């Protein structure tokens, strides 16, 4: 003789309400919150970032000689590897007076890199270059340079770093200088305005 199956009666099963049932008050409030979130997500956000007044479409009218060139760590190291004089080569590239600017983050990065970059550090410590003190936490020079360029579009960024170039290209009106084949190559520098 077999054992009888013990199943619950249908009526008893139907009366039991699960924890996630919509009829419970705690689940009703969750549903209202989710519907509000969906409504907020479906709203069109019409917020345009503030554009610099120096920009005329992609043309930056604030870039005038003497050019302020923000120098990055790897730009200095590539300059040393190619045995290029920094100031003279910049002036030959732009056909104008240039002021190399070195931030305290770049100096800190060069000091951290150790003895292999001692010549680049010596070049960076030259008295002819302008120094900018950083007021933020950390010594990550890429964030510092991007932040400075976003705030004021009066700089030309000198770098060989791919990631930094990619970030700077997203900012309209900021030219990039890099070391290529024994000389400096300029990217996105506007032509002289015709009068």
By residue range, what is the domain housing residue 127? 65-187
What pLDDT is attached to residue 30? Answer: 72
pLDDT over threshold 80, residue 190: no
What pLDDT is attached to residue 189? Answer: 81
- Name 43's bridge partners: none
Q: How far is CA 95 from CA 9, 61, 68, 151, 162, in A?
A: 93, 17, 14, 26, 26
Mean pLDDT of the chain: 85
Within a domain: 111: yes
pLDDT over threshold 70, residue 125: yes
Distance of alpha carbon 80 from the chain centroid: 26
Q: What is the mean pLDDT of residues 26-46?
A: 71
CA 171 – CA 155 distance, rounded (Å): 12
pLDDT over threshold 70, residue 88: yes
Within a domain: 177: yes
Q: How far is CA 135 from CA 21, 104, 108, 144, 167, in A?
A: 54, 9, 13, 10, 21
Within a domain: 110: yes
CATH at residue 76: 3.40.50.1010
* Cβ proximity of 67 and 97 under 8 Å: yes
Within a domain: 45: no
Buried b (16+ CB within 10 A) or exposed e, 18-37: eeeeeeeeeeeeeeeeeeee
Q: How many domains does the chain have?
A: 1
Question: Could you tell me the pLDDT band of residue 113, with boundaries at 50, 70 and 90?
Answer: very high
Within a domain: 36: no
Instruction: For residue 149, count other CB atoms closer than 10 A to its CB.
Output: 19
What pLDDT is attached to residue 97? Answer: 95
Q: What is the mean pLDDT of residues 158-170?
A: 95
Within a domain: 169: yes
Within a domain: 5: no
Question: Could you tell me the pLDDT band of residue 159, with boundaries at 50, 70 and 90?
Answer: very high
Within a domain: 15: no
What pLDDT is attached to residue 107? Answer: 94
**Start-to-end Cα distance in the chain:** 109
Q: What is the mean pLDDT of residues 183-194?
A: 78
* Cβ proximity of 176 and 90 under 8 Å: no
Question: Could you tell me the pLDDT band of residue 92, with boundaries at 50, 70 and 90?
Answer: very high
What pLDDT is attached to residue 166? Answer: 95
Question: Could you tell me the pLDDT band of residue 13, with boundaries at 50, 70 and 90?
Answer: low
């Amino acid at each position: 003789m077999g054992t009888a199956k013990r199943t619950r009666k249908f009526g008893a099963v139907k009366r039991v309400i699960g924890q996630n049932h919509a009829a419970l008050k705690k689940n009703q409030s969750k549903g209202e919150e989710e519907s509000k979130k969906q409504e907020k997500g479906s709203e069109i956000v019409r917020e345009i970032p503030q554009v610099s007044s120096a920009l005329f479409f992609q043309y930056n009218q604030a870039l005038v000689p003497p050019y302020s060139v923000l120098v990055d760590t790897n730009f200095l190291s590539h300059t040393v590897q190619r045995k290029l004089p920094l100031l003279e080569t910049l002036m030959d590239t732009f056909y104008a007076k240039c002021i190399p600017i070195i931030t305290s983050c770049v100096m800190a990065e060069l000091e951290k890199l150790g003895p292999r970059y001692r010549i680049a550090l010596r070049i960076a410590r030259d008295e002819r270059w302008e120094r900018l003190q950083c007021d933020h936490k950390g010594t990550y020079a890429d964030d510092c340079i991007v932040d400075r360029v976003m705030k004021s579009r009066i700089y030309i960024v000198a770098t060989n770093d791919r990631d930094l170039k990619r970030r700077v290209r997203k900012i309209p009106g900021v030219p990039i200088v890099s070391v290529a084949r024994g000389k400096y190559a300029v990217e996105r520098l506007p032509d002289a305005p015709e009068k």
